[in-house]
Amino acid sequence: MSFERARFELFNLARIAFRSAQYLFKKINPNYFPIGGGLNTGGGGTNRAEYCKNVWGTHIGAFNMFAAPKIPRRIAEFGPGNSIGTGLCALLCGADEYYAFDAFYYGNIAENITVLEELIKLYDNENFDQIKRREREREERADRLEKIKMVLNGEKGETIKIDYIATWENYAAPLPKVDFVFSQAVLEHIDNLENFYETQARILDRGGFCSHQIDFRSHGETFEWNGHYAISEKKWRRIRYVRPYSINREPLSTHVNLLKKSGFEIVYLRKTEGGKNAIKRDRLALKFRNLSDEDFMTSSALIVAKKL
């Protein structure tokens, strides 16, 4: 047994014990909210400004490449997590409206302001070729910074709008219309993907774009990156029971099919294949026996699509 594997198994034993205790608590009291969701609090990395800037860079890069060389005015992000830092990047760069659709409300004004201030430093330190352009952009951002801070502090903004829509799946008020939808490491967590893709089609105008980075790996549930495809439905239900949210185990083809079904054309698909620690096909659980080779091999994907 490799050192890596032994370390994983040791950690896993502790996790199973912790989870079993949570399972019992929840059986006794169904309203019990699992602490740490069974060792996975999962608000992602958006409390770090640099991470947010990189994520925003990926998705706005996709938009600029396939839609238009400008910043879309109205933007929706699904699952922003710990902070709305990626949305703050969008607003600093010129968007007017940002909508955060999540399953939980993580809103923390102090955290958002801290990330915003870190972001402004990162953007201002960027090396642009033309000094004039850099100065002009800096002035525009400084002006936006003040307006964004006002809105974050609860004041009504004239141009800037930030709305946290959580839980979006039970949202009674009409949803906003947007020009661009993006998500980072979120779609693998949404259980009702059909509903997600229909909602996305509803909020985007014709000609609007979406960009989604999806992680198909086991999220630490198994030593092998694709070991979750070997777990039976019964065991999987038990694992999920104590988590606020888990992974849906839907492969790439589900997303491709639902995008097409909801009226989108895929304009770009970048796939990554899984790493060295992987299960062989003969270990696949019954549910996944017919997984295509592409689905079996794909560990992450960036999908960019246009609403027809």
Ligand X SMILES: C[S@@+](CC[C@H](N)C(=O)[O-])C[C@H]1O[C@@H](n2cnc3c(N)ncnc32)[C@H](O)[C@@H]1O
Residue 208 touching ligand X (CB under 6 A): no
Q: Measuring CA to CA, how many Å separate 159 from each of 48, 56, 181? A: 26, 21, 20
Q: Which of 97, 102, 118, 221 binds ligand X (CB under 6 A)?
A: 102
Within the chain, residue ranges assigned H as helices are 3-28, 36-39, 49-66, 85-93, 109-124, 131-152, 193-203, 233-241, 252-261, 293-297
Rounded CA separation 118/98 (Å): 19
Residue 185 touching ligand X (CB under 6 A): yes
In angstroms, what is the minimal distance from the CB of 35 to ligand X? 16
Say which amino acid occupies 17: A
Site for ligand X in 49-68 (CB under 6 A): 55
Q: Which of 56, 78, 123, 225 binds ligand X (CB under 6 A)?
A: 78
Residue 43 touching ligand X (CB under 6 A): yes
Three-state secondary-structure class, residue 270 = strand
Q: Which of 112, 184, 222, 299 binds ligand X (CB under 6 A)?
A: 184
Residue 107 touching ligand X (CB under 6 A): no
Site string for ligand X, 131-170 (x = CB under 6 A): ----------------------------------------
Rounded to the nearest 10 degrees, what angle do helices 131-152 and 85-93 cross at? 130
Q: Which of 38, 44, 72, 208 binds ligand X (CB under 6 A)?
A: 44
- DSSP per-residue letters across 115-141: HHHHHHHHHHT---S-HHHHHHHHHHH
Strand partners, 184: 213
Site string for ligand X, 236-275 (x = CB under 6 A): ---------x------------------------------
Residues found near ligand X in the complex (CB under 6 A): 42-46, 55, 78-81, 101-104, 184-186, 189-190, 245
